Amino acid sequence: MRITVIEHEADAGLGYLESWLGLECDVVRPYLGETVPERAADGLIVLGGAADAWDDEHSPWHPATRDLLRSAVDEGTPTLAICLGAQLMTMACGGVVGRGGNGLEVGLREVRPLPAAASDPVLSGAGTAVAIQYHQDAMTRLPEGAVPLMTGDQYPNQAYRLGEAAWAVQFHPEATPEIFTAWTSAAGLDGAEDFNAEVKAAEDRLVATWRPVAEAFAEVVRTTAPA
């Protein structure tokens, strides 16, 4: 079984997921000129990136990525959309994404489960947890039929499920401390050293929370794929 992965930039890769999923991943890098496929393999992951989800001029592969996400949701292909990926999925399926009114959400932040998370096949075990955040755009209206699963203080729409097998998360379960440090360094972020140290100190907690989530998603891929 294989997972199609859309990577938007070189420093926003699979991170922890590469070893946690236990499945082969076919990474597509459209920023290097690779073509976004019309259909995913047995599963789909769309990663994050610094671009705005609506900025098709500077990221000309976004329309094809939104089409891919829409097809995956419609066809029940197990999908995990992360940060920018979550915003692209939201737009693709009729929701709204815009510049967040509460500023940049960055660093280690608490996310909390909503009632529907208790029975969710992927996020049921996460509980109240810390997650790595790095975004200013926000999912301001979820697609019709979306089931909200997690929330937070700065931005309420932190995770949702759409259909039977598509998940969108605003935070970064895949990001290692090293990946996060690369992001803050590239941005010249004020307070970067403190943010980086906080994330590094929480590494064991991050792994303990998000590795089971990744493994649960991989299990959905295994059980959903045709025999």
Dihedral pair phi/psi, residue 33, rounded to 5°? 95, 0
- Looking at residue 32, the DSSP 8-state letter turns out to be G
Q: d(Cα 157, Cα 133) in Å, to the nearest integer?
A: 13
Report, as an integer, the average pLDDT of 16-40. Answer: 98
Q: d(Cα 44, Cα 31) in Å, to the nearest integer?
A: 18
In this prediction, residue 188 carries a pLDDT of: 84
Question: What is the domain count for the chain?
Answer: 1
SS3 190: coil
Write the pLDDT tens digit of every residue in 112-150. Answer: 999 999 999 999 999 999 999 999 999 999 999 999 999
In this prediction, residue 186 carries a pLDDT of: 85
Q: d(Cα 25, Cα 44) in Å, to the nearest integer?
A: 9
SS3 145: coil
Report, as an integer, the average pLDDT of 149-173. Answer: 97
Which stretch of 9-13, 61-65, 123-127, 222-226 has the lowest confidence by average pLDDT? 222-226
Q: Within 13 Å of residue 34, how many CA atoms lie on the same side as its CB?
A: 16
CATH code at 127? Answer: 3.40.50.880
Structural domain range at position 135: 2-224
Residue 227: pLDDT over 60: no
Tokens 């920023």 found at:
31
